[in-house]
Chains A and B, each alone.
Chain A
Amino acid sequence: MTDEPLHPVNGLDEVVHQRVRLGILTIAHEARRAEFGYLRAQLDLTAGNLSKHLSVLETAGLIEIEKGYAGKRGRTWISLTAAGDTALAEEVARLRLLIARVETVEHRQED
């Protein structure tokens, strides 16, 4: 065993490290809260598919889902929990680290 730090891939959270779920967390973080329809349009998903991803994130405690009404229309709002905020920040940091690693390897190979 060496003291070398673990490869960033080892720290990736499989709940967050997924294109759609990372997108949901990013939008909810930037928007403070986002409506179901907005997420569906931006991520180009069917309602059923988006619901499945939301359910995974909610079960992991990363988002809160709030149902309400705008007039007679039902609306579902999604917001990040504190854990979701942290998970997103950690995922972005790990992605940056991973990219830096890949670039270092590419540079070595070029040399």
Chain B
Amino acid sequence: MSTDSVPAGEDPRRLLSEARGLARRVRVDQRVTWFALLVLAVVTFVAIPFDWYFFDPALSWRRGVLFYWPPVLLLSYAAIAAYYVRVARERGLGARVLPYAITGIALTVLFTAAWIAARLYFPSHPQRLPEWVLLVDRLVAPWGTIGVALLVLARLERNLGLLVFTVAYLTVVLVPIDLGWHWQGQEGTWFLPQQFINGTVLLLGAIGFRLADRRRR
């Protein structure tokens, strides 16, 4: 048993407060949030011509979703994880991005399976779907899974700013935006405004987090 008193310089409140401050500093130094959002924004914009070109007007299907999104999302999550690890290492830290990448990859597999199942089932069973099914459909679509995975990243980074951004992004993704707009009267272009808005929100997020990051350093 120690009979020494707690040294005056080691006030417990101060020690705990300093430890919390250091932990916060580490978490901030591990973040490269802007890069993740930038990659996802670029991927969303590049998808637009794919989705448009492979649109099936007879079934109102975006076949491009299956050709483009699964491999591109897998590559994106791998690239984001690799960049996070590289930046953290350069800053002298380990990274905590792996659970985000794994969640993103798992959700990509889930959405691919769901889209294939729906593609096989609905052409022979046409029906009007209830609103909640459409909501789940939007959530397991690539744009929805991007948001769900970002929630995991916000939790990992304990990043309140990213959490607020992701809730706003998911709201935009889940609430259908139909401006009644068709490019040159083409049927297969109704989704373009929504997809453009999704990409723009991600891009603005990337710019915002980048500026905040630069101001901090």
Contact = CB atoms under 8 A, between A and B. Distances in A.
Interface residues of B, number: 28
A32 B4 CA distance: 33
Interface stretch (B24-32, B35-43, B134-142, B185-193): B24-32
B15 A34 contact: no
Interface string A7-34: 0011010100111001100110111111
Contact of B23 (A9, A26, A36, A39): A26
A92 interface: yes
A26 B22 contact: yes
Interface string A90-107: 001001101100100000
A26 B23 CA distance: 6
Of A12, A26, A29, A102, the most chain B CB neighbours within 10 A belong to A26
Given A31-B26, A37-B92, A38-B93, A98 B12 contact: yes
B12 A102 contact: yes
Binding site secondary structure of chain B: helix
20 contacts: A9-B5, A10-B1, A12-B6, A17-B10, A18-B10, A19-B15, A26-B19, A26-B23, A27-B23, A27-B26, A31-B26, A31-B30, A33-B94, A34-B94, A38-B29, A92-B16, A92-B19, A96-B16, A98-B12, A102-B13
A30 B26 contact: yes
A42 interface: yes
A35 interface: yes
Contacts of B6: 9, 12, 17, 98
A69 to B, nearest CB: 12
B102 interface: no
A26 B18 CA distance: 10
Contact of B16 (A14, A36, A70, A95): A95
Chain A interface size, under 10 / 10 to 19 / 20 to 34 / 35 or more: 20 to 34
A33 B13 CA distance: 26
B95 interface: yes
Contacts of B5: 9
Contacts of A32: 93-96
A23 B22 contact: yes
Given A23-B18, A38-B93, A30 B27 contact: yes
A74 B16 CA distance: 33
Contact of A19 (B18, B25, B26, B30): B18
